[in-house]
Amino acid sequence: MAKAKYIHTNVLIVGGGLSGLALAGTLGEAGIDCVCIDRAPPVTQLAEAYDGRTTAISYASHLVLRTAGVWDTLLPDCAPILDIRVADGNSPLYLHFDSETDGDKNPFGWIIENRILRHRLFNNIKRLKKHVRHIAPAEIKKFIRGKSAAGVVLKDGTEITAPLMIGADGRSSAVRAWLGIDVKTLDYQQSAIVCNVAHELDHESAAVEHFRPAGPFAVLPMTDIANGGHRSSIVWTEHGGDVKDILSLSAEDFDARLQDLFGPHLGEVHHISKPMSYPLGLLHAERYTGDRVALMAEAAHAIHPIAGQGLNLSLRDVAALTELIVAHLRCGLDIGGGALLRQYEAARRGDTLLMAGVTDVLNRLFSNNLKTIRVFRDLGLGMVQKIPPLKRYFARQAMGLSGIMPNMLRKEQI
Ligand SMILES: Cc1cc2nc3c(=O)[nH]c(=O)nc-3n(C[C@H](O)[C@H](O)[C@H](O)COP(=O)(O)OP(=O)(O)OC[C@H]3O[C@@H](n4cnc5c(N)ncnc54)[C@H](O)[C@@H]3O)c2cc1C
């Protein structure tokens, strides 16, 4: 029988999705030893069928990815967002943000395929192997906790402990369940269909969001294809029950539906990746911490993608945790102690609750066809368009440069 291994590290990250891998990167770059475990091997996580989404990385979030040491390798595959256009269905009222005038001349953000982001994050932690150890697949047999450490025993007998364990294991977090933390959930009864779409005309780096009664339809600019063809990704929200029918349409019928939604502004369109769907729901954990454990990203909070902010919010968790861990280690303090956990909870709870509330209200306000609500929201859109300080406020929101920001997002040293 093989001898069981014992690993003790500074930080144990359970869940190596986009958020867990980003945290492993920022910790590794700061010279802090960590182990990141995931139940799925990289080859599964990099398969096309695993995740067909793209992510809008806000301007502020790119600073976190830069601190993780991965940004420069991502940039060639990122398409900048220089323009944001918001339309209420087919209403002539159009809210238009231009990064040159509204956004400090920096892009609002960038669009990248999740598969590429994940691939680069994997390569990044390989580069940081002096400090980061990645174990995947890793099946957890049980969680353990002592006086000065928490950890896991894997099915192969390996025991991993650390003064601080992070639950980054997604919506159905086993770490959260082990801590006995309840969640508030809300099923939006909507699903998002995502795929990549080729189109005749250049998108000119514009992200467009149309609000429709069933939910938003977003067109997000992507980098050109190798032959110079143009492409965008879509997030097409529909009532949950209608999605199955849409996904079973023939390729021609699906493209005809797409053409209706796109309208004429990008010329002829057709999908170039397999359409996939994601059910949408809100989730919020009643606590983000337990004894020697902190929850982050979708293990703690998941929101509606109406504003493309879920991962951006999680990268703020990454920034806050990294800063607190670095500061505590510098002062020789216990990184799994109550002080760090309390500061983390205080730093992140308000910000995530605010974003969860804003996205929930936006979805309720825009995903319906009630005449009175339409009148008021069109008035609201018109007002934002005409009042420069209000418009600038929303532009900074889109860039992730507002709310309670960790220092990393203010370009301050950690
Ligand atoms: C349609 C759609 C569009 C979106 N668009 C955007 C956008 O434009 N911008 C944005 O910021 N956000 C966006 N989001 C949100 C974003 O995609 C998610 O927030 C993000 O992918 C979640 O990452 P995560 O690391 O928290 O969780 P996950 O990706 O769920 O990762 C959790 C990891 O933990 C592992 N795991 C689970 N259980 C265990 C266990 N017991 N043991 C070991 N490992 C385990 C899993 O294998 C997985 O790798 C969108 C979401 C949707 C649905």
Position 292 in a domain: yes
Q: Is 294 in the pocket of ligand 1 (CB under 6 A)?
A: no
- Asked if pLDDT for residue 1 goes beyond 60, the answer is no
**Rounded to the nearest whole angstrom, what is the distance from the C-alpha of residue 381 to the centroid of ligand 1?**
31
Position 376 in a domain: no
Which of 19, 282, 311 has the most ligand 1 atoms within 8 A of CB, as the residue to mutate? Answer: 311
Q: Are 144 and 331 in contact (CB under 8 A)?
A: no
**Rounded to the nearest whole angstrom, what is the distance from the C-alpha of residue 171 to the centroid of ligand 1?**
8
Of 333 and 390, more confident? 333
Position 228 in a domain: no
Check residue 37 and give its pLDDT.
98
354: tokens are: 């605010």
Position 337 in a domain: yes
Against a cut of 0.85, is the pTM above it?
A: yes
Ligand 1 closest atom vs CA 56: 8
Q: Are 275 and 243 in contact (CB under 8 A)?
A: no
Position 221 in a domain: no
Q: What is the mean pLDDT of residues 104-130?
A: 95
For the domain that residue 32 is a member of, what is the CATH number?
A: 3.50.50.60
Residue nearest to atom 51 of ligand 1 (CA): 305
- Spell 199-211 as b/e; 16+ CB within 10 A means b: beeebebbbbbbb
Of 170, 187, 114, 183, the C-alpha closest to 363 is 187
pLDDT digits (tens, 9 = 90+) for 243-268: 999 999 999 999 999 999 999 999 99
Burial class (CB in 10 A: 0-12, 13-18, 19+), 271: middle
Q: Is 310 in the pocket of ligand 1 (CB under 6 A)?
A: yes
SS3 149: coil
Structural domain total, the chain: 1
Which of 38, 280, 318 has the most ligand 1 atoms within 8 A of CB, as the residue to mutate? Answer: 38
The angle that helices 371-386 and 338-366 make with each other, rounded to 10 degrees, is 110
pLDDT digits (tens, 9 = 90+) for 310-366: 999 999 999 999 999 999 999 999 999 999 999 999 999 999 999 999 899 888 887
List, in sequence order, every residue forming a beta bridge with 110; answer none if it has no partner.
57, 80
Check residue 3 and give its pLDDT.
62
Ligand 1 closest atom vs CA 297: 26
Q: What is the mean pLDDT of residues 294-310?
A: 96
Position 232 in a domain: no
Length of the chain: 414
Position 144 in a domain: yes
CA distances from 53 to 11, 232, 305, 385 (A): 29, 11, 11, 30
Residue nearest to atom 31 of ligand 1 (CA): 17
The angle that helices 59-67 and 310-330 make with each other, rounded to 10 degrees, is 40
- Asked if pLDDT for residue 90 goes beyond 70, the answer is no
**Rounded to the nearest whole angstrom, what is the distance from the C-alpha of residue 252 to the centroid of ligand 1?**
31
Burial class (CB in 10 A: 0-12, 13-18, 19+), 160: buried
Q: Provide the residue range defining the domain that includes 155.
A: 6-76+111-185+283-367+395-410
Check residue 41 and give its pLDDT.
97
Position 133 in a domain: yes
Of 64 and 96, more confident? 64
Q: Is 192 in the pocket of ligand 1 (CB under 6 A)?
A: yes
- Count CA within 13 A, CB hemisphere, residue 114: 21
Q: Are 408 and 64 in contact (CB under 8 A)?
A: yes
